[in-house]
Structure 1
Amino acid sequence: MKSMGSIRTMRTAGAGSDKGECETDADVAIIGAGPAGLTAGYLLTKAGLSVVIIEKDDTYVGGISRTVEHEGYRFDIGGHRFFSKSQQVVDLWNEILPDDFIERPRMSRIYYEGKFYSYPLRAFEALGNLGLWRSTLCMASYLKHRLMPIRDVKSFQDWTTNQFGAKLFSIFFKTYTEKVWGMPCDEISADWAAQRIKGLSLWNAVMDGVKRSLGLNKRPNDGQAVKTLLETFRYPRLGPGMMWETARDKIVATGKGEVAMGHALKQLAEGPGGTWRVTAKHGRTERTITARHVISSAPMRELAARLHPMPQTVPQANDLKYRDFLTVALMIRADDLFPDNWIYIHDSKVKVGRIQNFRSWSPEMVPDEAMACVGLEYFCFEGDRLWAMGDDELVRLATHEMKVLGLCNPDDVTGGVVVRQEKAYPVYDEAYAANVDAMRVELEEQHPTLHLVGRNGMHRYNNQDHAMMTAMLTVENIIAGERLYDTWCVNEDAEYHEAGEEGADKALPARAEGAPARQVPSADQAAALASVRAVPERLPNRAAA
């Protein structure tokens, strides 16, 4: 059977009503137009395959990496630096957006009790700000836990206490982490700490500081033994959404791809011969996409509830938790408020967890040089008090908290807007790993042509480049007709995310166990191979286990 090559659509009218139905055939159906879904769509259409991407948002692509525009002001849903150790990811960014990257200085700090601390912590600066007495207590606590560490490390609190001591944990990790996750640190998996702050060492920071004071070390005192902290990063001049809007447009321009906005997944069912039927709702209209493969970046819990027949592991999937958050963007009369890209707020007097300064990300994000635009990020659960507050009330709260923190005069705030983001972060609680593994095993055994990608699709706190890599490897597997790469190994090494050399990793990672050796082709070779593969026959029914 030949590859579709282009999308075939048939429309029918609902009998006796205005409910229309639309049926579409494509080689691959993709759920979600975030970085993972759009990366897969871009590479598949480039290879000559037809795709339909459904996205429940009716306005923006990019998921949490989108850029929202309000009266000429642009702001991220969280900040998204464009840095990756993978050369393939860097090359793809450059291919999609070749002329619109700018180089930006990186600066972030921690705010605690009216003082700023560099992030990552610089030992001498931190201890100096804390004062002699508290510094002594911090060092005593650190030495105690280095000599007598917690043996059975299960939680974020255990891991971080062993690494920094109980006193520094309580000052620099506890308040902020519990704001982010809405749960005690002793209920958060140690995986979270290992993934996000591995490589930071108080002892290395102190030794670096001593050497610098003696003129023996000129490297930044960042507490890392070998790695060098990023001092600059690349960024699209109009925000990360610029990347994903361009990717969408390139997919559509091929004539082989469609991005269906405002379409929410209703049901996913595998029929005879392994053909998938994806049903999506768009207002009062239902649409069905028939495809040989499905790529899903939908939250694992939602996918399980909509998969037919329903997986046996639905109870485990239902136990997966997500953290939501909202951004309150304030427009303030000021040429600039502070130099940081963002500030972590480790202060229990306010609810805000992090503040973004969008002019520091890109001057083009703010249309008026006499104005500043900042985004106050509040971590919450959908339906709780913060989430349910009205927009005007949230703008007043954010304005008041900027005053409490001493960051601006409320009289200078000229306006504000609120953006709510559901399921921003997959929660790493004590049971998450077992629940994810159970779901993964069942899906891989029973549905080898259903591929999970991205942060929520795999319930892993992946960065943007890691989400893209899971999609890139999935596309390689689909085109090859066999499981060449294990997508679940992406980001498994828990490497510190803000250090290293861009593009240092030249080859695709995560070869599946038992997969045949396969040299990674150049970009031109890959395109040629893909076009040859796409023409003779349609994608295989089942990927090799």
Structure 2
Amino acid sequence: MAQGSSDNQGIIDVDVAIIGAGPAGLTAGYLLTKQGKSVAIIEKDATYVGGISRTVEHEGYRFDIGGHRFFSKSQAVVDLWNEILPDDFIQRPRMSRIYYEGKFYSYPLRAFEALWNLGILRSTVCMASYLQYKLFPKKDVKSFEDWTTNQFGHKLYSIFFKTYTEKVWGMPCNEMSADWAAQRIKGLSLWGAVVDGLKRSLGLNKKPNDGQAVKTLLETFRYPRLGPGMMWEAARDKILASGKGQVLMGHGLKQLASDGQGGWRMSASGPDGDVVISARHAISSAPMRELSKRLHPLPESTLQANELKYRDFLTVALMVEGEDLFPDNWIYIHDSKVKVGRVQNFRSWSPEMIPDEDMACVGLEYFCFEGDGLWSMADDDLVSLATGEMEILGLVDRKKVKSGAVVRQEKAYPVYDEDYAANVDAMRRELEAKHPSLHLVGRNGMHRYNNQDHAMMTAMLTVENILAEERIYDTWCVNEDAEYHEAGDEGAEASLPQRESAVPAAEEPRALTQDQKAALESVREVPERVRRSA
């Protein structure tokens, strides 16, 4: 294993210390070592790199922790994928559907098809509701429910958005920020889709656009033949082979302390004790809430960061007799009669992930909070639950289920509640003003629902900033377009997004009261758990 230089006290001395070996951390590490910089990466997981983009192996079966299509509008990201994994991509057909009341609906939702499947009566009610809110929209749009109701009408919102969204997030839609909807549900014109569908039914329009005339729907995507973890294992191997980097597995962050000279001293606990890493720059993809409690000196914004929430989930993988269970890569389950939120079909991602050609492997995703009933269930009980729900949905005969495995993923999704933006902004402003050599990247590091390529781009821009020794790019401007994996042309954006304006300076910190000081110090004692919204 490659090492940075060490002083007499055993401190690992590198140019950049990186927290987390997910897509963002490994992208940064790979690009930095290519430029001759030394890096040390700590990863809490003892076995897998890749974070939520890892691929888990169980008895020869390989499965994702959530599906990860390798498609990006950024040519820089596409080029990097090709560079890291040049010979192991396969081209796969794209198919996702929504399951609701025993029927399947295309995803992204095709309005004309959806209204047809719902029947005349409910379709009429849906259109009346849609027109009502177009004529008399909600004026004060604050929540996911407000935004989606204005966009689609309350009836369609209640059918296609409310149940699934509340399954995923574990909180009422009227408590979720409208930012989530504006970010993730874009581009569909319901009226345009209905008109287009009518024209096609009359033979007047041969080119369906379903209300999305300016977009090209992604019909195929590239995918590593052994799953997305193959990409990040290759990135790790290249970092180690460079002689400039190391990846410390099973090492969790204890403290990240300023050295008083603009650099950092990071301590991490591992299976053989603690290690200390000294670095000029630090990159963190750790959850923002977790990082805030381990920084020294403790940021004044720790109080706000402590209010950030996360949603966890678990995957129950079932090994099932039968090669072709259904053609989808995944199916969204909008039915309230089962707890499962999404079902992956791993053979549809890559046949090579299934070791037996007469078998299939499906992954049922359950969204939960760490420590709640689902999270705490025994693995055997979860396998039994998943088997029963697949039978209820009519997707699998329980007699054909031969075995199962469970993988739990904490802090999978940063929660967009009504206060998240202000809380993130408070920490961002303070860190950028006081610690310009500390860089936040990735989904949890920035508390933003980034796709895999977005996370990579935040790391790519951060590396450019480190090499230039100034913030020439604003990583917070990386696109979070919901259609990124659904539409558009691969590599359409040829250049890196240039920073447009200076980052606003942090406000002068106000003097803290005695109560606030006591609360700030007590943050270190707050348990690391996800709290339910009231």
Residue 479 of structure 2: aligned partner: 491
Aligned with residue 252 of structure 2, among 264, 267, 285: 264
Give the SS at the match of 1:448.
coil
Residues 1:496 and 1:208: Cα distance change in structure 2 (over 3 Å): farther
Are positions 1:449 and 2:437 aligned together?
Answer: yes
Q: What secondary structure does 2:344 align onto? A: strand
Structure 1 CA distance, aligned partners of 2:121 and 2:500?
53
Q: Name the amino acid aligned to 1:479.
A: L
Q: Deviations over 1:397-417 (max 9, x none)?
A: 000000110111101000000
Shift of 1:429: 0.4
> Within the alignment, does 1:283 sit opposite 2:280 as a pair?
no
Choose from 19, 26, 31 the match for 1:31: 19
Q: State which drifts further: 107-116 or 214-223.
A: 214-223
User: Corresponding residue for 1:273?
Assistant: 261
Match of 2:322 among 325, 334, 337: 334
Which residue identity does 1:465 align to in structure 2? D
Structural mapping, 1:399-410, within 5 Å: 399-410=387-398
1:8 is matched with 5
Q: In the alignment, is residue 73 of structure 1 matched against residue 61 of structure 2?
A: yes
Q: Within 2, Cα distance between the matches of 1:374 and 1:91?
A: 31
Residue aligned with 1:255, SS: coil
Task: State how far apart, in whole Å, the 1-side matches of 2:176 and 2:6 are.
Answer: 47
Q: CA deviation at 1:9?
A: 3.1
SS at match of 2:261: helix
Contact 2:133 2:149 in 1 (8 A): yes
C-alpha distance in 2 between matches for 1:215 and 1:226 = 21
Residue 492 to residue 67, structure 1, CA distance change in 2 (3 Å) = closer
Among 175, 199, 209, the alignment partner of 2:163 is: 175
Distance 1:378 1:145 in 2: 33
Give the partner amino acid of 2:96: S
1:415 equivalenced with 2:403 (yes/no): yes
Letter in 2 for 1:503: G
Aligned equivalents of 1:23, 1:342: Cα separation in 2: 46
Aligned-partner residue type, residue 310 of structure 1: L
Do structure 1's residue 501 and structure 2's residue 489 form an aligned pair? yes
Letter in 2 for 1:120: P
1:196-219 Cα distance to aligned partner (Å, 9 max, x none): 111112112112212222333333
**Amino acid across the alignment from 1:239:** G
1:354 aligns with 2:342: yes
Matches within 5 A, 1:138-149: 138-149=126-137
Partner Cα distance (1:494, 1:387) in 2? 28
Q: CA deviation at 1:335?
A: 1.2
Q: What TM-score do the two structures reach when normalised by structure 2? A: 0.92
Shift of 1:10: 5.3
Tell me the residue number matched to 1:43.
Answer: 31
Q: How much identity, in percent, do the aligned residues show?
A: 78
1:343, 1:440 → 2: CA distance? Answer: 36
Instruction: Give how far 1:125 is off.
Output: 1.8
Contact 2:175 2:418 in 1 (8 A): yes
Alignment of structure 1 residues 131-280 onto 2, 5 Å:
131-280=119-268
- CA distance in 1 between counterparts of 2:45 and 2:204 reads 54
1:540 — aligned with what? none
Q: CA deviation at 1:273?
A: 1.5
1:386 aligns with 2:383: no
CA contact (8 A) 1:120 1:223 kept: no
Conserved? CA contact 1:41–1:257, under 8 Å: yes
Deviation, 1:508, is 0.3
d(CA) in 2 for partners of 1:24 and 1:514?
Answer: 34
| Alpha-carbon distance between aligned partners in 2 of 1:415 and 1:424, rounded to the nearest angstrom | 25
Whether contact under 8 Å (1:66, 1:241) holds in the other structure is yes
- Letter in structure 1 aligned against 2:47: T
Root-mean-square deviation (Å) = 1.4
Q: Give the Cα separation in 1 of the matches to 2:484 and 2:273.
A: 45
Residue identity in the other structure for 1:287:
V
> Per-residue displacement from partner, 1:315-343 (whole Å, max 9, x unpaired)?
10000000000000000001111000000
Q: Aligned equivalents of 1:263 and 1:494: distance in 2?
A: 33
Deviation per CA, 1:261-282: give whole Å up to 9, x if none: 0000000001131221000000
The answer to whether 1:119 aligns with 2:107 is: yes
Instruction: Output the amino acid matched with 2:167.
Output: K
What amino acid does structure 2 have at the position aligned with 1:232? Answer: T
The reply on whether 1:110 has 2:98 as its aligned counterpart is yes
Report the Cα offset of residue 34 of structure 1.
Answer: 0.2
Give the conservation status (yes or no) of the 8 Å contact 1:103–1:232: yes
- Tell me if the contact between 2:197 and 2:210 (Cα under 8 Å) persists in the aligned partners: no
**Residue identity opposite 2:287 in structure 1:** P
Q: TM-score, normalised by structure 1?
A: 0.90
Structure 2 distance, partners of 1:235, 1:493, is: 21
Equivalent residue for 1:306?
294
Taking the aligned partners of 1:279 and 1:222, their CA distance within structure 2 comes to 53
Instruction: Assess if the C-alpha contact under 8 Å between 1:195 and 1:495 holds in 2.
Output: no
Is 1:83 aligned with 2:80? Answer: no
Supply the distance in 2 between the matched residues of 1:284 and 1:477 (Cα, whole angstroms): 34
Is structure 2 residue 364 aligned with structure 1 residue 367?
A: no
CA distance, structure 2, for counterparts of residue 37 and residue 131 of structure 1: 49
Contact 1:262 1:282 in 2 (8 A): yes
Q: State the distance in 2 between where 1:33 and 1:429 align.
A: 27
CA 1:329–1:43: 2 relative to 1, 3 Å: same
Gaps of 5+ in 1: 13-21, 516-545
Aligned partner of 1:522 in structure 2 is none
Contact persistence 1:196–1:496 (CA under 8 A):
no
Letter in 2 for 1:8: S
CA separation in 2, counterparts of 1:283 and 1:405?
Answer: 44
Q: What residue is the counterpart of 1:99 in the other structure?
A: 87
Q: CA deviation at 1:514?
A: 5.6
- The Cα of 1:223 is off from its aligned counterpart by 3.2
The aligned residue for residue 515 of structure 2 is none
Aligned residues: 502
Q: CA deviation at 1:258?
A: 0.3
Shift of 1:284: 5.2
Q: Deviations over 1:142-189 (max 9, x none)?
A: 111111111111111111111111000000000000000000000111
- Alignment match of 2:460 (pick from 469, 472, 476): 472
Q: Structure 1 CA distance, aligned partners of 2:102 and 2:144?
A: 26
Distance 2:77 2:17 in 1: 22
The range that moved more, 114-123 or 436-445, is 114-123
CA distance in 2, matches of 1:445, 1:220: 50
